[in-house]
Amino acid sequence: MNLVSTITQERNDPRYLQIFLLGSFLAYGLLFLQWSARLDVFAAAFVSSLVTQIIWAKWKGQPLSSIKSALISALGLCLLLRVDSVWVMALAGVATISSKFLIRHKGKHVFNPTNFGIILAILTGHAWISPGQWGHGETGMLLILLGATGILLRVKRWDLSLTFLTVLFGLESLRLIAYLGWDWPVVFHRFNSGTILLFAFFMITDPKTTPNSRKGRILWASMIALLSFFLGQFFYLYQAPLIALFIISFTTPLIDQVFKAERFKWIPKTQNI
């Protein structure tokens, strides 16, 4: 591959935009939302993720360009996960990256790596999700929505976010408005959260771990929304979407078997130039 082809392929890689956006969200949280951040914990997320990726890539003979995915995972951990000690974040980083190499079906990841690391960290009893850290301000929500639009158009996974939010909003509306008789602002307030928007636009849309076909993705996102609604409304689990994604990920190989389509590649093949 010549230098021009390499530059063209790298320029078309949507992961650069995703890294920039997630990094911007992290800076926004630290500078404007006054997150009580520990730099050593954030450093643990980056060091553990990147070093683990390099070790696995060297072992498997993969190019070091895959480190871009590890950087995205590290940013995801910093944005969503809160821990009470450095070792828990380091464990989450190692588990996040290692899951991509250890838990596969026909060469495809089974779990969303960041979701896997977060669930494992929570199970230690020393980690949690902080839904309120984003507040409910319009500026943060607008930044996430604008950024998400650019990413989803590049990776062609807007159907996942649209399906998840539509199904979950419909179910929440039926229960809260039609059944419990609450007001509409209650429903809108539940969706005006940076955590739920980050999950809907930047986690379940990971093209490497979602079903290959559009029909499969719509079914898959609907099941995540349904299980998330059930866990949130009847078991009062504030991490319901993350748990739902973890459980429904087991169905991805079966869905890919039923609805066959080409597997996603971060860098599509270029035409001869």
Query: Given this model, what pLDDT does residue 52 score?
Result: 97
| Residue 136: Cβ-neighbour burial (10 angstroms; 0-12, 13-18, 19+) | middle
Each residue's pLDDT tens digit, 59-95:
988 888 789 999 999 999 999 999 999 999 999 999 9
- Using CA atoms, how far residue 35 sits from 153, 201, 211, 222, 227, in Å, is 30, 22, 35, 33, 30
pLDDT band at 273 (very low <50, low <70, confident <90, very high): very low
Q: How confident is the model at residue 143 (pLDDT cuts 50, 70, 90)?
A: low
Nearest to 128 by CA among 238, 248, 34, 246: 238
The three-point CA angle 15-198-218 to 5° equals: 85
- Looking at residue 136, its pLDDT comes to 61
> What is the residue-averaged pLDDT of the chain?
87
Percent of all residues in the chain with a pLDDT value above 70, rounded to a whole number: 85
CA distance readout (Å), 13 to 196, 209, 216? 26, 17, 24
Rounded distance between C-alpha atoms, residue 162 and residue 157, angstroms: 9
- Residue 36 clears pLDDT 80, i.e. is over it: no
**pLDDT (tens digit per residue) in 161-209:** 899 999 999 999 999 999 999 998 888 887 877 778 888 888 888 888 9
Of all residues in the chain, the percent with pLDDT exceeding 90 is 54
Across 64-68, 146-150, 207-211, 254-258, least confident range:
146-150
Helix (H, G, I), strand (E, B) or coil at 36: coil
Tell me: pLDDT of 252 over 50: yes
Give me the pLDDT at residue 56, please: 95
Span 86-141, pLDDT tens digits: 999 999 999 999 999 999 998 898 999 999 999 999 999 999 987 777 666 666 66
- The identity of residue 172, as a single letter, is E
